[in-house]
Amino acid sequence: MDGILGVGPARLTLGTQSTSSIEVPTIMDTLYTERKIPNQILGVSFAPANYNKTLNGRMTLGGYDSNMFEDELIWIPRTITRPASFYWGVNVTMTCGSSVIVPNSAGIMDTGSTLLLISQEGLDRYIQSIPGASLDDDSITGLVKIPNSKVSQIPPFVIDFGMFKATLRGEEQLFPIEIAKLFGGQEGYRYSYLNSLGNTQGSGMDFIIGQKFMEYFYTAYDGTNNAVGIARSTISKPL
């Protein structure tokens, strides 16, 4: 961990200085106001990581890289629901097969998170929707484990942004085997990267969509128009 580059909205900086009412310009704000970039847009690509030292991230400052996604970006307006609205927040509905995992509610897109986190109630419904799935309390992972023999039966996981539906196929909901081993995963099982956020449904922060989702979907963040762009990624292996 060499550091953290904060690319969220400047409102998140309130309270970080001695004068709590002052916003601190982010790097995106500064680049734009100094005319170093043409647009206040950040494009982010993650290729699927399949081992510990995979180099899989790429940022585009001032725009996005159309070579890294299919068709065109669909722009989703930021939510007005607090506290998700303080971040790159959006409203979505999540389903797994025929089960509604997260009803229409607000949460955030977060390039600095690894997992896809949902409420405990949502995680319970997710586990119930997959044959043989259970929470792995016997190892250090604390993740949802699925017997190898049941992987082919994992239903599609759909995140409906209203203007765009992102579908994660069964294998796309799982850590690569080599990565799971680093977490202490057991032989004979695969592990989902969906986990519990620890709060209850309806908090205004009902999910966090992190890197593992973004390995399959390119995202962009428009600070001028307050919108998140999403499209299916064309990158299928480490960069």
H-assigned helices in the chain: 27-33, 120-128, 177-182, 211-214
The alpha carbon of residue 19 and the mean position of all alpha carbons in its chain are separated, in whole angstroms, by: 32
Structure tokens at 117: 């986190």
Over its length of 239 residues, how does the chain's per-residue pLDDT go in tens digits? 677 888 888 888 787 777 667 888 889 999 999 999 999 999 999 988 776 666 778 999 999 999 999 999 999 999 999 999 999 999 999 999 999 999 999 999 999 899 999 999 999 999 999 999 999 876 556 899 999 999 999 999 999 999 999 999 999 999 988 888 887 888 999 999 999 998 778 889 999 999 999 999 999 999 999 999 999 999 866 55
CA distance 149 to 188: 8
SS (H, E, C) 33-44: HCCCCCCCEEEE
Superfamily of the domain at 10-232:
Acid Proteases (2.40.70.10)
16-55: pLDDT as tens digits: 777 667 888 889 999 999 999 999 999 999 988 776 666 7
Q: Which of 42, 86, 48, 46 lies closest to 63 in space, CA to CA? A: 42
Lookup: tokens for 234: 């064309």
Distance set, CA 43 to CA 161, 191, 192 (Å): 18, 29, 26
For the chain, the domains span 10-232
Q: How many CA atoms lie within 13 A of 9 on its CB side?
A: 21
pTM of this prediction? Answer: 0.92
